[in-house]
With several copies, the nearest count.
Chain A
Amino acid sequence: MTERTLVQAVNAAMARAMAEDPAVLVVGEDVGTDGGVFRATEGLLGRFGPQRVIDTPLAEAGIAGLAVGLAAQGFRPVAEIQFTGFIYAALDQVVNHAARLRTRTRGRLTCPLVIRAPTGGGVRAPEHHSESPEAMFAHIPGLRVVVASSPARAFGLLLAAIRDPDPVLFLEPTRLYRAVREEVPDDAPPLPLDRAFVLREGTDATLVAWGGMVPEALAAAEALEKEDVSCEVIDLATLKPLDEETILASVARTGRLVVVQEAPLTAGFGAEVAARVAERGLMSLRAPVRRVTGWDTVMPLLRLEQRYIPSAARIAAAVRDAMAFA
């Protein structure tokens, strides 16, 4: 038995990847002696040494650009950005370089890097520490975007992300870092980076969620079960490339779609899920699509954050609405 929390699974995936491939490096602020502010890189410095676990100066654009240079030379850097609130400075490097180095050189130079970052709210963190900007990244051609939601999936997806020959943004909901423990053996296999996971089967409504919203969706499904409403719960896991088929197949069975996202409503990734169904699954829909999301306001400071983050109750209410419709 190797029970692990999500953050321990992240740590184990990096350790495994580093042990298997000397090209894997870890870079970022406080990833060395400190082991990362969430302890995601704990022990890696001791095990792999300062040539492979590298504390950087405080400069996010520089970290991302450095990783591009390392990757172009054949390393597989895993760069940590301390919180998604500070990832914006790295965006230019991701859009204009990491995600297009392969295509702009027609394959001559490539960019096998992973940028990891804790994301989302719910841990009473300071200002700028609780945002969910995944949709911005999912719009970037050439980038894979993955959001972890359980220890086992975090392990398999991160392992796959590190092995992937292209750049991956890997987001880890802080709220789930220590929420549960799960059996995650050291030799667990990588998981595919283009597949959604059906976590619970159901017949009345499809709940699509990712990251920190997955446990909420599951809780809503559980509550609704008592009301004889049967929900299928899908964890997208990889937002890009999107596993549209799994969503469409589910909606074809249930006829109802509720998409849950912690980020603000407008232009969030939930819109993409809804749009795909409106394009290719419209005729399956028996009720309007519902999105349960954060509001189009700045994520509030900690006193009000629970009123911002979608809850199982709000999700369940949306499902009931959809059930009432038809």
Chain B
Amino acid sequence: METVVARFEIRHRRHLGPDGVPAGDLPAFARDPAELVALYRGMVRTRAFDQKAVALQRTGRLGTYASSLGQEAVAVGLAAAMRPDDVFVPAFREHGAQLWRGVTMRELLLYWGGDERGSNFAGPRQDFPVNVPVGSQAPHAAGVALAMRLHGEDRAVVCAFGDGATSKGDVAEALVFAGVWSLPVVFVVNNNQWAISVPRRAQTAAETLAQKAIAAGIPGMQVDGNDVIAVRDAVAEALARARSGGGATVVEAVTYRLGDHTTADDARRYRDDAEVSPHWREEPLPRLRTYLTSLGAWTKAQEDALLAQCRAEVDQAEADYLATPPQDLASIFDHTFAVLPAELARQKAEATGDEP
């Protein structure tokens, strides 16, 4: 005899399609054009930063860099849904969210240029730095969320990772923790459909990545990750639930990695133009611009001004970055522990040529 003991469904949300026409009523925040303009600015700014960073890498002035080209809506949407005192726990492709939350372009360039000071954000002091070991940041998000809960705060955490990361055990474990303790955390899957050369379908047989949530007994949903309105809306909804004790959520944002994995990658080795080009028609910037234009809230002049402003900002950041004096070697010793142990002091003296 069989009985059904549990039922689940995964819903997909989209507000603004590729054509820039709203599909039904927009969420409240999106009825204010100023809000939408802010989101648009955030995305354009991110793209300008990405371009600059790639250019700096190509000319040997930055290390390997992971551009977020085409995925700006995920980062900007999730950041816009957060409060300043929430904590963001990123992977390595959410520059748009970091910038939105007040990490400076100079800091990001320092980090990607190989200088640890870039992770010593002056802005969001509690945000985690870029996380390279894929998926390993997810348990941190659970820990931060547990800390907030224990403190009785109504703050919450947003943790981002990619489609590839959803295969990592760390992510599964973090979801279990978040689920069992109803922690105030939103896991945003930046599903850009590729993990370096491994396409989404070769990553997992799961029909959606949102359903990773089901294994942990938490709600999961999918959004059009190229629709910044949908991303912000879904993350905001999940954050509201998290703050009110309703626990964790997985939000899968379906987008596409239009560029190479990083500047060290050549995506033509494993995917051809025919695969990529249709996705250019779905990318997040034009659709919001089209909609704003249709509202009369955005003009060619504003667009030109924004681009000029972003160019100026990234140029200034570049200049500041390049003008930053290098760190002393001493810094690698001084930050290892709160107090330098005797034996490390000896090494420091040897390394810095100041023999004891």
* A–B contact at 8 Å CB threshold (below): yes
Interface residues of B (CB under 8 A from A): 63-64, 87, 89, 111-117, 119-121, 125-126, 128-130, 132-136, 138-148, 150-151, 164-165, 167-170, 173-174, 176-177, 180, 195-198, 202-204, 262, 264-265, 269-270, 326-327, 329, 331-333, 335-339, 341-344, 347-348, 351
Selected from A29, A65, A126, the residue in CB contact (under 8 A) with B64 is A126
From A11-19, A90-98, A145-153, A207-215, give the one contacting chain B. A90-98
Task: Report the minimal beta-carbon distance from B118 to chain A, rounded to whole angstroms.
Answer: 8
Known: A57-B173, A128-B132. 12 other contacts (CB 8 A): A58-B203, A65-B142, A66-B142, A66-B174, A72-B144, A72-B147, A86-B134, A106-B117, A109-B129, A165-B337, A165-B339, A302-B114
What is the number of contacts between chain A and chain B, taking CB atoms within 8 Å? 242
Whether B341 and A303, one on each chain, are in contact in the complex, defined by CB atoms closer than 8 angstroms, is: no
Q: Which residue of A lies closest to B89 (CB)?
A: A69
Whether B344 and A74, one on each chain, are in contact in the complex, defined by CB atoms closer than 8 angstroms, is: no
Selected from A29, A70, A109, the residue in CB contact (under 8 A) with B128 is A109
Contacts of B126 in A (CB 8 A): 72-73, 109
Whether, in the assembled complex, A201 has its beta carbon less than 8 Å from a beta carbon of chain B, the answer is no
Whether B196 and A37, one on each chain, are in contact in the complex, defined by CB atoms closer than 8 angstroms, is: yes
Contacts of B148 in A (CB 8 A): 73
Q: How far is the CA of A161 from the CA of B157 in the complex (A)?
A: 28
One digit per residue, 1 when the CB lies within 8 angstroms of any chain B CB and 0 when it does not, for chain A 156-188 equals 000000001110000000000000000000000
Selected from B113, B173, B264, B348, the residue in CB contact (under 8 A) with A59 is B173
Whether B338 and A102, one on each chain, are in contact in the complex, defined by CB atoms closer than 8 angstroms, is: yes
Selected from A56, A106, A242, the residue in CB contact (under 8 A) with B335 is A106
Whether B136 and A96, one on each chain, are in contact in the complex, defined by CB atoms closer than 8 angstroms, is: yes
Whether A57 and B139, one on each chain, are in contact in the complex, defined by CB atoms closer than 8 angstroms, is: no
Q: Which residue of B lies closest to A56 (CB)?
A: B177
Whether B337 and A65, one on each chain, are in contact in the complex, defined by CB atoms closer than 8 angstroms, is: no
Selected from A35, A37, A245, A295, the residue in CB contact (under 8 A) with B332 is A295
Whether B145 and A69, one on each chain, are in contact in the complex, defined by CB atoms closer than 8 angstroms, is: yes
Minimum-distance CB pairs A-B, first 8:
A69-B143, A65-B139, A302-B114, A62-B173, A73-B147, A34-B197, A241-B341, A57-B167
| Residues from 249 to 301 in A contacting B, C-beta threshold 8 Å | 265-266, 295-298, 300-301
Q: Interface residue count for A (Cβ, 8 Å)?
A: 77
Whether A126 and B337, one on each chain, are in contact in the complex, defined by CB atoms closer than 8 angstroms, is: no
Q: A56-B177, A62-B174, A69-B141 are in contact. Are A242 and B343 (CB under 8 A)?
A: yes
Task: Report the minimal beta-carbon distance from A78 to chain B, rounded to whole angstroms.
Answer: 14
Q: How far is the CA of A19 from the CA of B189 in the complex (A)?
A: 40
Interface residues of A (CB under 8 A from B): 25, 29-30, 32-35, 37, 51, 55-62, 64-75, 77, 85-86, 89, 92-93, 96-97, 102-110, 124-129, 141-142, 144, 164-166, 194, 241-242, 244-245, 265-266, 295-298, 300-305, 307-308
Whether A102 and B167, one on each chain, are in contact in the complex, defined by CB atoms closer than 8 angstroms, is: no
Q: Which residue of B lies closest to A85 (CB)?
A: B133
Contacts of A29 in B (CB 8 A): 195-196, 198
Name 11 A/B residue pairs within 8 A (Cβ), A-sorted.
A33-B197, A57-B204, A58-B134, A62-B176, A66-B139, A66-B140, A66-B142, A295-B332, A298-B332, A302-B114, A307-B351
Q: How far is the CA of A86 from the CA of B326 in the complex (A)?
A: 28
Q: A51-B150, A194-B342, A297-B332 are in contact. Are A66 and B177 (CB under 8 A)?
A: yes
Task: Report the minimal beta-carbon distance from B157 to chain A, rounded to whole angstroms.
Answer: 8
Q: A55-B197, A85-B132, A89-B169 are in contact. Are A69 and B142 (CB under 8 A)?
A: yes
Task: Report the minimal beta-carbon distance from B86 to chain A, rounded to whole angstroms.
Answer: 12
Contacts of A34 in B (CB 8 A): 196-197, 269-270
Contacts of B327 in A (CB 8 A): 303-304
Q: Which residue of A lies closest to B343 (CB)?
A: A241
Q: How far is the CA of A70 from the CA of B121 in the complex (A)?
A: 19
Q: A68-B143, A103-B335, A301-B114 are in contact. Are A97 and B136 (CB under 8 A)?
A: yes
